[in-house]
Amino acid sequence: MKLVLVGFGNLGRGLARTLILKRRTLRSSYGINPRVVAAVDEYGAAVDERGLDLRKLLQVAEKKGSAADYPRKGKKGRSAADVIENVEADVVFELTPTNIRTGEPGLTHLQKAMRAGRHVITSNKGPLVVAFPELDRLARRSGVEFRYSASVGGAVPVIGLARKLLAGNEVRAVRGVLNGTTNYILSRMSKEGTPFDVVLREAQEMGIAEKDPTLDIEGIDAACKITILANALLDRNAKLKDVDVTGISRIKPEVTRLAQETGNAVKLIGVAERDILEVAPKLVPIGHPLAVGGTLNAITLETDLAREISITGFGAGPWETSSALVGDLIDIHRTLGA
């Protein structure tokens, strides 16, 4: 399979490393021979239709900062749009940073790739919260596969869980701890009674929270993810603006401590039901599958036969995200083989 990687930062490089690590498994267990024919970032592209040398590509990108410095076959200034449309490929991975207002540049990349007849796999929440219904329609019309497991929950395969493993069940509601940063902050506040500001500062020092933590602590990131899940699993046509959002920045340590004393944990929960779409702090009984600590993500699917099924794991990190990206690749290969 010929692959194009659009975006060659942390996630693109993590995927390249994973493809090196898993080359043998992909071939022997799944009959997939992945060949990365292009990697493009904001500075330019490396292109080789016979397949790039991924080790060399990683070395160059680490050292010089861009895939475009790939020897001979790299070209500064060659754009993602050009590569997507003109380099023959089976699958385009869209791995650029998320912009939740415009969805760009990911949105344009996905549209161009679909129109060019490429299957697409993305980790980018932006296009999904801005234009999911449009993208879903375009994929169908173009006859291409469209996968976005990595956009929600990192390594946690919640979309596949609902669609593949709970086939036969009707999913009635989705509830989840969808943001690792806020979960870490709330877990520490509740364990130690430390105030929000102090824990946030420490989380920033540890690299768990970003310098500008707004998207996480105000619940926007979780709102993006519950939007994606509502569309994917409940057939809604939701956009980010449809979500009622309350963050965690005004939660006092007394509240988390009191919750704990009564056998509960305060968690930032995203909820999607037929008529509900919200993110807000809620009490969860200790012992409930959503009462997970640390930076974990957890999602509960409420279904008719299986009742509540929950899935838990790490929602971020390049290896974890690669697990979802490679899972989507294998799934597309299986689907096409059918």
Strands 146-147 and 119-122: parallel
Task: Label the pairing between strands 277-285 and 264-272.
Answer: antiparallel
How far, CA to CA in Å, does 123 sit from each of 82, 253, 259, 270? 21, 34, 35, 19
Does 180 participate in binding its own copies (rule CB under 8 A)?
A: no
**Sequential DSSP letters for 272-315:** E-SS-EEEEEEEEETTSTT---TTEEEEEEEESSS-EEEEEEE-
Indicate whether 323 belongs to the interface with its own copies (CB under 8 A).
yes
Q: Find the shortest distance in angstroms from Cβ 337 to its own copies.
A: 6
Give me the 215-254 binding string for its own copies, x by CB under 8 A, dash otherwise: ----------------------------------------
The verdict on 289 binding its own copies (CB under 8 A) reads yes
Among the listed residues 38, 147, 140, 51, the one whose alpha carbon sits nearest the alpha carbon of residue 85: 38
Decide: is 27 part of the binding site for its own copies (CB under 8 A).
Answer: no
For residues 291 and 282, the answer to whether their CB atoms sit within 8 Å is: no
Sole binder of its own copies in the list 166, 222, 232, 248 (CB under 8 A): 166
- Which residue from 170, 192, 210, 254 is in contact with its own copies, where contact means CB under 8 A? 170
Q: How far is the CB of 20 from its own copies (least distance, A)?
A: 13
Dist. CA 229–CA 235, nearest whole Å: 9
In the numeric block, the tokens 């929000």 are attached to 196
The CA–CA distances, whole Å, from 189 to 153, 159, 252, 292, 305 equal: 23, 31, 9, 14, 37
Report the nearest approach of its own copies to the CB of residue 68 (Å).
Answer: 28
| Residues forming the active site | 225
Asked if 160 touches its own copies (CB under 8 A), the answer is yes
Position among 168, 207, 211, 261 found at the interface with its own copies (CB under 8 A): 168
- Name the one range near its own copies by CB under 8 A: 26-34, 122-130, 192-200, 248-256: 26-34
Beta bridge partners of 40: 6, 45
Considering beta carbons, is residue 25 or 237 the nearer one to its own copies? 25
How far apart are the C-alpha atoms of 192 and 115, rounded to whole Å? Answer: 53
CB-nearer residue toward its own copies: 230 or 265: 265
Q: Does 97 bind its own copies (CB under 8 A)?
A: no
Q: Which of 122, 117, 118 is nearest to 106 (CA)?
A: 122
Contact status: 294 vs its own copies (CB under 8 A): yes
Rounded Cα gap, residues 14 and 242, in angstroms: 33
Closer CB to its own copies, 111 or 297, in the complex: 297
Answer whether 191's CB lies under 8 Å from 202's CB: no
Contact pick of 228, 269, 326, 332 for its own copies (by CB under 8 A): 326
Contact residues: its own copies, CB under 8 A: 18, 22, 25-26, 29-30, 155-157, 160-161, 164-170, 187, 191, 263, 265, 285-289, 291-294, 296, 298, 303, 305-314, 319-320, 322-324, 326-327, 329-331, 334, 337-338
